[in-house]
Amino acid sequence: MTAASPPAPVPGPTASVPAGRPSPGRRLATWLHRHPRSRLGLILLLPLLWLVVAYLGSLGVLFLNAFWSRDPFTSLVVRQFTLDNFTELFTTEVYRVVTLRTVTMALVVTATCIVIAFPIAYYMARVASRRTRGLMVVAVVMPLWASYLIKAYSWRLILADQGVLDWALKPLGLTGPGYGDIAVWLVFVYLWLPYMILPIYAGLERIPSSLLEASSDLGGRGWITFRRVILPLSIPAVAAGSIFTFSLTLGDYIVPGLVSTTQFIGNVIFVNVAQNLPLAAAFALVPLAIMLLYLFIVRRFGAFDAL
């Protein structure tokens, strides 16, 4: 057993079986050994309390709030079932506009990420040497984890009036887009890009070389092989990556606040949390429902197999 296990465990002298009267720990261990169901129960007790009771419970509380209302005079939550929040959401123009705007942004960001991620992922998976590939994976993963807030903030600096971008474009006689919807799009693409690169890279890497050889043997030139073999085979990976880019854009409210004054679903929810919690809770179900629908769609493209 010492040969195969990764870091070979070395049982010290303390591991030897003690003789004589068993210690309380030993008795407990024996009891646990004889009762596998109780052992499993003890193992799962804490995690289940935390994740199922506390976390899912909290989501349940939020869900309940969506069906309550706020007393306009006292601003307190009235715990009585009502569908008023949903009526308001569906009949007020602004919620529809904001939802449509957010979904459009999420789709455009996702499409842009696919276009930008594909070449680099392809290079990593099929062109780069093994060593370069390893280095590039680290190079793409690390910024993914670098402070989200600082990455967004850096774009505030870059896009500022007379900022880095204006300075760089000045010799060309151009100016940057400044703060606004284009800035929001740019920052989202920047923030979520690694989430798209990594699944596509993994997907492309898994395509067996024999398929590409077969295509070229059958007369498929580079471009045809790419379009008729590689592209269709990479669809599940692209769909998997799009889950992240779409979902993350749908709920974010920090970025729009930093580089624009446009309201997205997240901003509207956030503003309402303090003013009208039941309405905010009801509106929070909108990105949730859209996300479930999105997951349902991409599952048909095999996204879940490529995660």
Looking at residues 146 to 175 of the shown chain, list those that interact with another protein (rule: CB under 8 A): 146-151, 153-158, 160, 162-164, 167
- Which string of x and - marks every residue 169-208 that binds another protein (by CB under 8 A)? ---------------------x--xx--xx---x--x---
Q: Name the one residue in this structure whose structure tokens are 């009235």.
A: 78
Pick the piece of the chain touching another protein (CB under 8 A) from 85-93, 172-180, 234-242, 286-294: 286-294
CA dist 80 and 70 (Å) reads 10
Residue pair 215/224 in contact (Cβ under 8 Å)? The answer is yes
Size of the site for another protein (CB under 8 A): 103
Q: Which of 78, 97, 111, 141: binder of another protein (CB under 8 A)?
A: 141
Q: Which is nearer to another protein, 184 or 197 (CB)?
A: 197
Query: Among 287, 294, 298, 303, which residue sits at the site for another protein (rule: CB under 8 A)?
Result: 287
User: Which uninterrupted H or E stretch holds 274?
Assistant: helix 265-275
Helix extents (H) in 146-264: 148-159, 164-169, 181-206, 209-217, 222-225, 231-233, 235-251, 254-259
In the list 38, 78, 169, 222, the residue contacting another protein (rule: CB under 8 A) is 222
4-43: contacts with another protein (CB under 8 A):
4-9, 11, 15, 17, 25-26, 29-30, 32-33, 36, 39-40, 43
Per-residue binding letters, 223-262, with another protein (x by CB under 8 A): ------------------------xx-xxxxx---x----
Helices 24-34 and 36-47 pack at an angle, to 10 degrees, of: 100
Residue type, 134: G
Q: CA 107 → CA 50, 89, 111, 239, 245, distances in Å?
A: 34, 22, 6, 12, 9
Going residue by residue from 54 to 93, which x/- string records binding to another protein, judged by CB under 8 A?
xxxxxx-xx--x----------------------------
Q: What's phi and psi for 69, nearest 5 deg?
A: -140, 175
Residue 139: which residues within 8 A CB-CB, separation 6 or more? Answer: none
